[in-house]
Copies of this chain bind each other. A is one copy, B any other.
Amino acid sequence: MANTSMSPALMELVAERFRVLGEPARLGILHALRHGELTVSDLVEQTGLGQANVSKHLQLLHATGFVSRRKDGLFVHYGLASKDVFRLCDIMCGRLESEAKARQRAIAPV
């Protein structure tokens, strides 16, 4: 990757995926799904978001392949499509830690 060239189209696709994760509400939904599938109502309860809102976010998360969907009678169960989300968040959290440490050093250098 670091050596290959990226077409604008690919860049747009990658950006779109990042943009999907760039929203606390959606991260909240993904986080709530970390231990297994949940229904829309479950997610509404756990995230505190409105039902319509959750549903809309889920459509987007599903369209971009972050969550799986399983219909079961009246209910629809959503789950994480892969562990990639955690890998991505881990990297971001690692970055945040480094930043925090750097700030710490800047304030109270050795």
Q: Interface size on A (CB < 8 Å)?
A: 42
Beta-carbon contact of A15 and B11 below 8 Å: no
A70 at the interface (CB under 8 A from B): no
Choice from B14, B22, B96 contacting A19 with Cβ under 8 Å: B22
Of the listed residues A10, A11, A90, the one surrounded by the most CB atoms of chain B closer than 10 A to its CB is A11
Q: Given A1-B86, A34-B2, A91-B84: A22 and B13 within 8 A (CB)?
A: no
Nearest chain B CB to A73 CB, angstrom units: 25
- List of B residues within 8 angstroms of A22 by Cβ: 15-22
A82 at the interface (CB under 8 A from B): yes
Docked complex Cα distance between A12 and B12 (Å): 23
